[in-house]
A and B are shown apart, each in its own frame.
Chain A
């Protein structure tokens, strides 16, 4: 069976040496993967390789059997990322930022219309609802509010809604809980991982990879990938990862 995403002997270099070394991985449909490691272990680099923003110097990356560099725009849109710094467009409204998630499937006229009019308000609203933004911001006036006026938690939800609007097959989230208080972090994780009774993610994605700085959350995942100095040191089902494994992973 073709893997959803496949990495073979991937190497990524940075100014201070290898950021990822000889990394080989296969991600399958239906997996919820936690990506662990200390700061600088290569988690963000791996997310960058998976979404194509950080091309490897060696090795190859295949998405549904096609090399990442050869993906069409529409195929590329099937990999969505919740960025650590969110990368919202401050000058645009909530609704326009959410709609920016759909730009991979749309052409320039729609993109221009989104800057001029209130476009696809219902789609934005349903994504924002799925992301957990409060109802008071879901009316027309709320959708027109610039994201610059929102709190940190609200901004996180807008970024999450943009990811849902993209309707990706593979969702990547780079430290999505890093700057959130525990209650909001738990809810954001819940919304990323929520699945229907048949086990499918409610967002419609087939798999999700979340990089975490808190290893105590791994019981919410099916599989754990642990990186240390750019090398794969753990790749196991979540229930098989022991406290000792985690201590070793985070040891100085």
Chain B
């Protein structure tokens, strides 16, 4: 009855969940006796968060730091990103009558800041600029701006050139022609992608806090390390409230902007909002850190060729690369496969709401905190890092999948139910199947993000390039730092290239 293997999109959306098997096997076999007690205390803390006024006051100030950092970093990255995106678009250079090579050179140069995770930027800038609120802002702005630039440039290049040519031939100036022909389409890109980046910026600002760059992340880490779970949950609930408010706000904004008759006006409001957020965030940070002062460049002993060669011989390349790739594959498998698997368990509406709540929780907890939490009851292994990273990204993928499923036409599901198929099977065939190519396309993009993020759990979990990088940074071994960051850059650029191919494949299928 069963013939050759012919996996289709819905099967490929579920199969990656198999990564959970080895990961859970290692995690469960490594759990020690006291683990259950600690986990119990953690779960009880969720129901009884601390309401100590002093703690609440401190957490609210920390939350303000995180939000102000996210807002400023996001605003700066959008302004810079759009500018750099325009400058790296060959089409715009040609429209102004210039050769296109400067755009190509700039596009290639922008690959480097993009390939380095914001956490690495944060730790590097911390070493050379010292502790300052704008270090976290810069750490977010640098990679985000080049990410925005890439998306902006790709969108500009993919637009139909005939409209632009028609307006130019009618005698319009290049600026007027671009505004007339390109801005309607680019406005919607700015609104939808820009909104998404604000959610990312909030996650990044929290994460940077975990590594000492200020804000709520730092308080969460301290509470967790001192096993003050009730305090930890006070912070987590606060963060969840802000995250949900932001996501709902952005969802409302997207639907409003999508329905609005005068789209250009909505785009203008958005642009003003971005500029305002930069100004507001900067003033807010200034209020929160009145004694921060100006940024100072601390001297760094840049490595010479000889020390680079020595460092290259010292580093355990094979194990580092293997661990990083294994971490990426396992975490990506969990992130892609777990969301549809959880929804497949039962199509009951109540269960899907519970799962939706779970996604909020796992995407709010920064992966290094999840690693620390798991380490309270387990030994440090690569599986711990993969589980933490996979769960965190499941939260992001799960939310998008559920949002997509809500918009999915259910006529095929209705047909299957009327033909006697079970609720599970009709959900699998009628709803997940049509949605799975876009889930896989986003999964390809997310795998690329996960490869970048391995540094985050590597730093804590003691595995891969991330752990080695932290060791090198804390011992000011700049030669090793340069080599490790370069390796990360090459790996993430390769990953980006691969994920682009997969994404195109699934979007066109």
Contacts and interface: CB of A to CB of B under 8 A. Distances in A.
A111 B418 contact: no
A92 B12 CA distance: 12
A91 B11 contact: no
B158 interface: no
B411 interface: yes
Interface string A103-144: 111111001110111111100000000000000000010001
B436 to A, nearest CB: 6
Contact of A89 (B1, B7, B434): B434
A112 B4 CA distance: 14
Contacts of A112: 11, 14, 428
Interface in B1-52: 1-11, 14-15
B412 A77 contact: no
B419 A91 contact: no
Nearest to A123: B1
Nearest to A101: B419
A16 interface: no
A105 B419 CA distance: 9
B420 A74 contact: yes
A87 B420 contact: no
B434 A104 contact: no
Secondary structure at the A interface, as helix, strand, loop or mixed, is: mixed
Interface string B413-447: 01111111110111011100110110000000000
A53 interface: yes
Interface string B272-302: 0000000000000000000000000000000
A51 interface: yes
A79 interface: yes
A73 B419 CA distance: 8
Interface residues of B, number: 35
Contacts of A101: 419
A61 to B, nearest CB: 13
Given A116-B5, A117-B3, A120-B1, A104 B411 contact: no
A144 B418 contact: no
A93 B11 CA distance: 13
A8 interface: no
A155 to B, nearest CB: 13
**For this complex, into which size category does the number of interface residues on chain A fall?**
35 or more
Contact of B437 (A76, A91, A104): A91
B509 interface: yes
Contacts of B4: 117-118, 140
Contact of A91 (B3, B10, B414, B422): B10
Contacts of B412: 87-89
A190 interface: no
A90 interface: yes
A85 interface: yes
A103 B429 contact: yes
Given A108-B424, A111-B425, A119 B418 contact: no
B419 A76 contact: yes
Given A53-B414, A111-B428, A115-B8, A104 B2 contact: no
A215 interface: no
6 shortest interchain CB distances as A-B pairs: A104-B420, A77-B420, A118-B3, A76-B420, A103-B421, A115-B11
Given A92-B429, A108-B425, A112-B11, 8 more contacts: A76-B420, A81-B418, A91-B9, A91-B434, A91-B509, A93-B6, A103-B425, A115-B8
16 contacts: A74-B420, A79-B418, A79-B419, A87-B414, A89-B429, A89-B433, A91-B434, A91-B436, A92-B429, A103-B421, A103-B422, A111-B421, A112-B428, A115-B10, A116-B11, A118-B6
